[in-house]
Structure 1
Amino acid sequence: MIFNHQEKIQIEISTEELLDDGYHLILYNDDVNTFDHVIETLVNVCKHTYDQAEQCAIIVHFKGKCDVKSGSYEKLKPMCLALLDADLSAEIE
């Protein structure tokens, strides 16, 4: 007797990903804030790893801006306000 086992693979996709409105949190370069401050703020506010935050800081420095987070407007708004409260230049596009 032969049994045929077929595994069912379930892909988990969060509702947030499915309903992503395509908004982006953009961080802009300035001549005031240090790399350390930008990195620390991105780690605390956006929950980036240190390496992610460092890469974003480098991109902002050389390119003038960086998309640091994507998602729904409701998800990004408090993050944007926190970046602004930390004296960084940011907006949601």
Structure 2
Amino acid sequence: MSIFASGKEDVLLEEDIDVSIGEPADLIVFNDDHNTFDWVMQSFVEVLGHSSEQSEQLALMIHLKGKATVKSAAFNELRPKKDALCDRGLSAVIEGKG
């Protein structure tokens, strides 16, 4: 099992999460220099089902802090959402809470 030390805590890498039991995980989106606030917010509304207010707050957090957890759920629920965000050009990963 691979564990990534993020400085504050250890996190499981996506490939090490047991998807068969729906391990709890976080969907993390990273800041970039090519997606607009409007596109990121629209993506959060359409893909994650967030409100426009919540999407705006998350986009601002990502801009200011470099990344933010945009959804927490079972890995098998987050996987298609991560793929959809990446298909839209966002940089997203899933980190296990284990």
Scaled by the length of structure 1, the TM-score of the pair is: 0.78
**C-alpha deviation, 1:70, in angstroms:** 0.3
Residue pair 2:28, 2:92 contacting (<8 A) in 1 also? yes
Long gaps (5+) in structure 2: 1-20
Quick one: distance in 2 between partners of 1:85 and 1:72? 20
Name the SS of the counterpart of 1:23 in structure 2.
strand
Give aligned-pair identity as a percent: 45
Pick one of 21, 26, 33 that aligns with 1:31: 33
Greater strand percent: which structure? 2
| Map of 2:50 onto structure 1 | 48
Pick one of 20, 23, 27 that aligns with 1:21: 23
Q: How many residues are treated as equivalent by the alignment?
A: 75
- Choose 1 or 2 for highest CA Rg: 1
Deviating above 2 A after TM superposition, structure 1's stretches of 4 or more consecutive aligned residues are 19-22
| Map of 1:89 onto structure 2 | 91
Long gaps (5+) in structure 1: 1-18
Quick one: distance in 2 between partners of 1:71 and 1:39? 20
Quick one: distance in 2 between partners of 1:57 and 1:48? 12
1:42-71 deviations in whole A, cap 9, x for unaligned? 000000000000000000000000000001
Residue pair 2:22, 2:76 contacting (<8 A) in 1 also? no
Quick one: distance in 2 between partners of 1:22 and 1:85? 23
| Map of 1:16 onto structure 2 | none
Q: Cα RMSD over matched residues?
A: 1.2
